Amino acid sequence: MEAAHSTPAWVLLAYLVSGVCFILALRGLSSPESSRRGNRLGIIGMTIAVVTTLWTHLPGAFAKKTGQICNQMYTATGAGEPVCRDLTYPPAFVIDWQTFGLILGSIVIGAVIGLVTARRIQMTAMPQLVAAFHSLVGMAAVLVGAAAFLNPDAFGILGSDGILQVSRVEMGLGVAIGAITFSGSVIAFLKLNGNMSGKPILLPARHVINLGTLVAILGLIAYFTQDQAPWVFFTVMALSFAIGFLLIVPIGGADMPVVISMLNSYSGWAAAAMGFTLHNSAMIITGALVGSSGAILSYIMCRAMNRSFISVIAGGFGGDSAAAGGGEVIDRPYKRGSAEDAAFLMSQADQVIIVPGYGMAVSQAQHALREMADLLKEHGVRVKYAIHPVAGRMPGHMNVLLAEANVPYDEVFELEDINSEFAQTDVAFVIGANDVTNPAAKTDKSSPIYGMPVLDVEKARTVLFVKRSMGGVGYAGVDNELFYRDNTMMLLADAKKMVEEIVKNIG
């Protein structure tokens, strides 16, 4: 593999263009209105990076061809010996088609899997898919690091005394972060997919264990710069797999959106570290962008949930309080309403604020919801949508669903922009949003969501709460006291069916 200083100028320029595309893609993804353009720019940037890398690292070698050219010299008798001289042809690049075929075959297989998965996946399962993709990025970093350790000469990182010192640091950090990303993402996937309990699993002395494991990993990476013995490298790998598991297991379901964001950041830093090992500037740029943007998003979400950013990295944040919450359903009287009641109240209102949540995503009610909003606007009702930063299972989950239903962007508001309007709102229509509307976050110190900013829906004159039944609790495992307020009317049914019934009664 070519060293960084011998990389052709056009390759560096191509990687620079792909990096600019990635930056513009992130800029576009910051707003629903420009997200499609951002997505396209990201695809263009990645295509440029992949094609450039393949072109500059075609498996093969330059070979010199030699041969002879002969002329028959005739004597007067018609017989003679041929006169020959050696001839060397210009060197030609000979492609190793077998290896190249394996590379192309792998690309095709991966592309087909990605395409089929993207077309078939439901929006409700998108968080699990993101977690699964993060795990693949982490494992890729681990495998690249292992390959570089076992065959450093092929990666251009072999010096006179073994693997270059700086490459040992890059390799150690890349493998460690990649392994943490992989095992942590697997646990996040299992929790989100329901294969594992969403409740925190609290290990005794977990913080001491986590800190000790982290110190051991960093110490071994430092030692690896002096001794490249295989046991050092593979111990770093094993401990990193273990701490990824230990960091995510104690985290409860209510905090899972922050976990997804943080794992996204980890995957970026792992890719950046491997970019240094591979002398690939596109990987370094892309990894740094993903890592830094993921970390910034995690910080913003921590503020939205009143969590400490440091406690996210340490693992188990919110775990003790989640255990205290207990997930107990309160048996108290509540007011039940019907689609007819809801249609009458909303059609007579001046303003309705719709609060979507995971229940809307599960029932795929976003299209019916937009139809309901259109009918209300025909009756002269102002309609707005209130989005909590962690509604659903991942950042932006609700925004994507509403955009899919062609809800106007100017009707969608974030928590800090709309919370003050609930007190002047006639009806708050909550459809499947549980934890993010729970007033206990402001008053109950034993609640796992205590301190998390929530939407002030209880301040509306009437709250219509769509929920499948009273038997379940939110993802945080606690009941919502909003259900039992005097101004709350429970609409117990499948979200999509309930909204469709409301539409019939409004029309």
d(CA 290, CA 310): 19
d(CA 464, CA 451): 24
Q: Say if residues 325 and 478 touch (Cβ distance below 8 Å).
A: yes
Q: Say if residues 254 and 265 touch (Cβ distance below 8 Å).
A: no
d(CA 494, CA 482): 19
Q: Say if residues 187 and 245 touch (Cβ distance below 8 Å).
A: yes
**Structure tokens given for 88:** 């060397």
Cβ atoms within 10 Å of 21's Cβ, excluding its own? 22
Q: List strand residue ranges (DSSP E) for 11-81, in order.
A: 60-63, 66-72
Phi, psi of 187 (to 5 degrees): -65, -40
Query: Which is nearest to 299 in space by CA: 312, 314, 318?
Result: 312
Please state the length of the chain. Answer: 507
How far from 373 is each of 385, 426, 500, CA to CA, in Å?
10, 15, 12
Tell the burial category of 400 from Cβ atoms under 10 Å away from its Cβ (0-12, 13-18, 19+).
Answer: middle
**Structure tokens given for 371:** 């139809």
Cβ atoms within 10 Å of 299's Cβ, excluding its own? 17
d(CA 280, CA 272): 9
Instruction: Taking the CA atoms of 501, 503, 505 and 507 in sequence, report the sign of the dihedral they define.
Output: negative
DSSP 203: -
Residues noted as catalytic = 435
d(CA 272, CA 278): 10
d(CA 437, CA 450): 12
**How large is the C-alpha radius of gyration of the chain?**
30
Residues facing residue 385 across a β-bridge? 354, 412
Q: Say if residues 427 and 461 touch (Cβ distance below 8 Å).
A: yes
Q: Say if residues 242 and 108 touch (Cβ distance below 8 Å).
A: no
Task: Locate all alpha helices (DSSP H) within 124-229, ordered by sequence.
Answer: 126-150, 165-192, 206-224
